[in-house]
A and B are shown apart, each in its own frame.
Chain A
Amino acid sequence: MTWTVKILSHGRTVAVRKKQVLSDVLRQAGVPISLYCNKRGLCGKCFVEIKRGKLPPLGEKERSWLVAKGLSPNYRLSCQYEVASDLEVRVPSAFTVQEIPILPSIMRSFIRPDPAIRKYYLELRRPDIRTPESLLEILLDGLGGVRLGIQPAVLRKLEEAMAKGDSKVTAVVHREREILALEPGYTVGRSFGLAIDVGTTTLVMELVDLDSGKTLDMEAAINQQVKRGADVVSRISYCYENSEHAAELQSLVLETLNSMIGRLLARSRIDRESVYEAVIAGNTVMTHLLLEIPVRSLARAPYEAVFSRLPELHGSDLGLNIHPQAKIYFSPNIMSFVGGDIAAGLLASRLARKRGRFLFLDLGTNGEIVLRAGGRIVTSSTAAGPAFEGMNISCGLPALPGAIFKIRDEGEIRIETLGDSTPRGICGTGLIDAIAVFLARGEISRSGIVRNPARQIRIRENIVLTQEDVRQMQLACAAIKTGIRILLEQNRLSVEDLDGIYIAGAFGNYLNIENSMDIGLLPRIDKGRLNFIGNASLAGARQMLLSARERESAEKMVQAARYVSLASEPQFQERFIEALEFAPWP
């Protein structure tokens, strides 16, 4: 027996060979019908209009939803509708899952929200003196009779919620495995999550609507740990100066995160109890410090991390001011030097799914270089030093208001500052511009000599580029350049073989491509093949927040990724010294 199902709204027709639930047929036909409650008829999000075909009697819930949503009587829940005849249906877009862009700057990178948190509105049986069941049994029965876990903290509030809502409640279920909360009344549609990028210098956080996948608002702040050291190694040493320092570092970052959460929730008028999930992406040291896990082994060969992948933790374990039962997921670390921030960035760049050969670069104190080629992912890192973050540079400044981030030569030196404020110093992208501009003017030689007798170049009042600054930039650029070259050579590839280069990290769109190529930081490559993807770590965290499947792909990718140590390559030193010249390559 074969039936034909015509999906009028999507212009598709499929043949059905055996009895099947309509929602499955729609999914197989590529229609992204919402399956929020996993086909249990609990959520009312998969209605379709039956234009021609059998109309079975309405269920009790179905009927009340039809009325509530103002739908005509020939709508049915597709997850409860069995196909056993020819059919013509129309699927309104309100009942499909909208794909949302992950990286606004890259087209064609969309994901379909598939959140781990689901909310079900239930009108439960009232307890009856003749059959004195437990409240939990009534609740589980209302949820379709499945077995779900529940923490004592949630049990303690069960009676209160049911009484307050007069048995009309909303259950918050995590991954169809655990009841995270029970709320009185109808709260479906109010479930929120946080995507958090815990950087060594900056913290960035997005408040996300878990159902629509939309970002509602965002916050950024300086990681207050910078007071105790600019880079990860100095933070680690700080930890071991005194037994109380580890706790201090943890509270410095946690307090900042909590005040960011406070501001976000206040602006969107959302209470902390409606935030059920957070995904955190950070480098290995940052995530260890956040959990106050000893970092000593991360700072000495062979650089061991205590953890790479973690099961979900609870909001209260970490001390984040969100729902105490909220699930906290950490983006998995790849290796000690290549952390969850890079895993998240790789996920956002969709590198693992691309055919061809790509490089992924994250330019910071530790330059991470990842190669995608031959179906594999090879990661490596190279110590660039903090020059790109404006540290160790006499006039250097992190990317903060007042930092010169662009420099041009228009006969006279033109500058642009962040926040359009009075120039206070130069940040990484500005330093790259400065080197390129003064190389072109001949004021700096390709070997890095500042040619004037004072051995320094004035850019603005009190902002000068010294000989030593130029040397620091040489070292930083050479580390990246050597890393890229050796990684490519090890895989028998050249720059010409690359289909594209992705550049993640704080530089974002401010990085001047020509200048970067001219000083030899980036290889010469067709501009169309360079993609700036900005804070890919945050984008990846958001992606993992919205979709359990994306978490699985991140973990799979991390397990399959290889790591190569570039510095232990015998030719590293020679190549590094060679790379110190400011020269375009290849």
Chain B
Amino acid sequence: MDKEHILETMARAIVAGERSQAQELANQAVRLGLDLLEVIEKGYAPGLKEVGELWEKGEYFLPELISSAESMKAAMAVLEPELRRARIDAPSKGKIVIGTVEGDIHDIGKNLVASMLQAHGFEVHDLGVDVKPERFIARALEVKADFLCLSALLTTTMLGQRRLVEMLRAENLDRRFRVLVGGAPVTQKWADEIGADGYAENALEAVRLAERLRERSVG
């Protein structure tokens, strides 16, 4: 198999959600001594991009999205240690602290967002569910996070998102981290109202939002 063909197969493995194939191709790339950064950017990443397009067209739903993300993670589990060994920085797009707010124990949506962000090259610290604002802030400071992602599935627990934004402001940390909010009852209007930096409707939009904000701050 030549390189072009390998890269194309990688993309297809991600689109098809073939976890073991995606991982096997990563092993193959290591054995053949391919440029691993190129493998990520030209092999796997285009696959993820196509998954996003399929999601938008309505052809992909949660099961497909998750198996693609899982396939990506499986490939990265092979590639990342190799990159570290070669002292090459894995291409991290930024650090994310994510969790479901206090009083709320829903986690499927939040897990999906975390998974997609990770698949797209973000370093993700998932604090789980029912997370107090103090814990969010402490971890964000500890890992020097770029983003705080807050999930809330109930209109009653959404208020936890506001509380965190207010706390950041009170502690003069609101410029240090960007706050992104999401969850079934959450809207752009709510995000604006509480002074969050962004809102995403679904996992893929969350990735795009984070990428966009990241570029803006880097550029």
Contacts and interface: CB of A to CB of B under 8 A. Distances in A.
Given A233-B154, A240-B156, A581 B63 contact: yes
A564 to B, nearest CB: 14
Contacts of B58: 449-450, 455, 467-468, 471
A578 interface: yes
Given A573-B108, A573-B111, A299 B62 contact: no
Contacts of B155: 233-234, 236-237
A202 to B, nearest CB: 22
Contact of A576 (B102, B103, B108, B154): B108
B104 interface: yes
The 4 closest A-B pairs by CB, nearest first: A300-B103, A299-B156, A237-B155, A467-B58
A6 B156 CA distance: 68
B63 A577 contact: yes
B157 interface: yes
B104 A236 contact: no
B59 A449 contact: yes
Nearest to A466: B58
8 contacts: A237-B156, A296-B156, A383-B106, A447-B64, A455-B57, A577-B66, A580-B63, A581-B63
B64 A301 contact: no
Contacts of A428: none
B130 interface: yes
Nearest to B160: A300
Given A234-B155, A300-B156, A577-B63, 19 more contacts: A233-B154, A233-B156, A236-B156, A237-B154, A299-B103, A299-B157, A300-B104, A301-B103, A447-B63, A447-B64, A449-B61, A455-B57, A471-B58, A567-B105, A568-B105, A577-B66, A578-B63, A580-B63, A581-B63
Interface in A284-303: 296, 299-301
Interface residues of B, number: 22
Contacts of B104: 300-301
A474 interface: yes
Contacts of A455: 57-58
Contacts of B103: 299-301
B107 interface: yes
Contacts of B105: 301, 567-568
Interface of A: 233-234, 236-237, 240, 296, 299-301, 383, 447-450, 455, 467-468, 471, 474, 567-568, 573, 576-578, 580-581
B106 A447 contact: no
A577 B64 CA distance: 9
A296 B64 CA distance: 37
Contacts of B108: 573, 576-577
A267 B135 CA distance: 62
Nearest to B155: A237
Interface in B116-162: 129-130, 154-157
Contacts of A580: 61-63
B201 to A, nearest CB: 12
Contacts of A233: 154-156
Contacts of B64: 447
Nearest to B156: A299
Interface in B42-67: 57-59, 61-64, 66
A234 B185 CA distance: 10
A301 B130 contact: yes
A60 B25 CA distance: 101
Contacts of A447: 61, 63-64
B74 to A, nearest CB: 15
Nearest to A233: B154
Contacts of B106: 383, 567
Interface string B95-118: 000000011111110010000000
Nearest to B157: A300
A21 B104 CA distance: 62
Contacts of B111: 573
B177 to A, nearest CB: 24
